[in-house]
A and B are shown apart, each in its own frame.
Chain A
Amino acid sequence: MPVKAGSKAGKEKADKENVHNRIAVLRAERGVSRRELATALGVHYQTIGYLERGEYSPSLHLALRIAGFFEVPVEVVFSLEPFPRLGST
């Protein structure tokens, strides 16, 4: 279930169920603005920002649509483990 970080309990839950993503990196790489991505996915542009900040974990449906938009497998965009920093081995 999507988790919205807001209250203390919400933050603790979000920390436990945190899903890391590379939306910001992919977006920058493809030169897509938040609003363009939001329009393509049919969501509010602020939702893209909350996703990028890790304050909202998307439903499976939205996650698959984001991966579909960037034409990459879903595990390229989302991971339960933090993504390695660029340049790290």
Chain B
Amino acid sequence: MRTRWTEAQKEATEKDVLPSWHATRKRRRVLAGAGGAAIAMVWSGTVVSWNLAPSDTAMYWTISLLVLAVLIALPVITVLNAATRGTVSLAERDLDERQVAERLRAHAVAHRAMLVLLAVVVVAVLGVPGDRGTFIPMAAIVMGVVSLFLTHLLMPVLVAGWRQPDPPPDDEETA
């Protein structure tokens, strides 16, 4: 059953939010890069917490990086969702076959990238010197989980935005 929320979501993706921000492929790729930088900031927070927590320095740096990442990620994701017309955010029943194919491609690439990232995390964690009694700050574990969650959540839309070719002009615009 179609809810009012999904209808509103679909309408929102058809609105041209900040069209100049995503008018060209280069700009969309800059946005995707900014989204990637936001994800990197959250991971930096994890590294800071791992090395400096528990301390005030760790807390201030981690919170600052997290807030900055959210401030960058929110507009980036909103604009990329508008640019891709909700290819990765709408329900599959609201997409046509081209959009479904693009969504599957974006998810496949994001899945591969996530797999590489997980491998890097495993190597990094196993490479930490110490034994079973090594102290790991709880803040670092929490930030690590948050980083994984955000990366998993944002990667598909960043990939879709990066891959999106320039859309054909609307025939109403060209008339």
Contact = CB atoms under 8 A, between A and B. Distances in A.
Interface residues of A, number: 24
Contacts of A43: 96-98
A44 B170 CA distance: 11
A79 interface: no
A61 B152 CA distance: 33
A59 B165 CA distance: 20
B138 to A, nearest CB: 42
B165 A55 contact: yes
Most buried by B among A4, A55, A56: A4
Contacts of B105: 4, 6
A50 B96 CA distance: 13
A18 interface: no
Nearest to B99: A44
B96 A56 contact: no
Contacts of B163: 6-7
Contacts of A47: 96-99
23 contacts: A4-B102, A4-B105, A6-B102, A6-B163, A6-B165, A33-B172, A34-B170, A42-B96, A44-B85, A44-B96, A46-B167, A46-B168, A47-B99, A49-B169, A49-B170, A50-B98, A50-B168, A52-B168, A53-B168, A55-B165, A56-B98, A58-B97, A62-B97
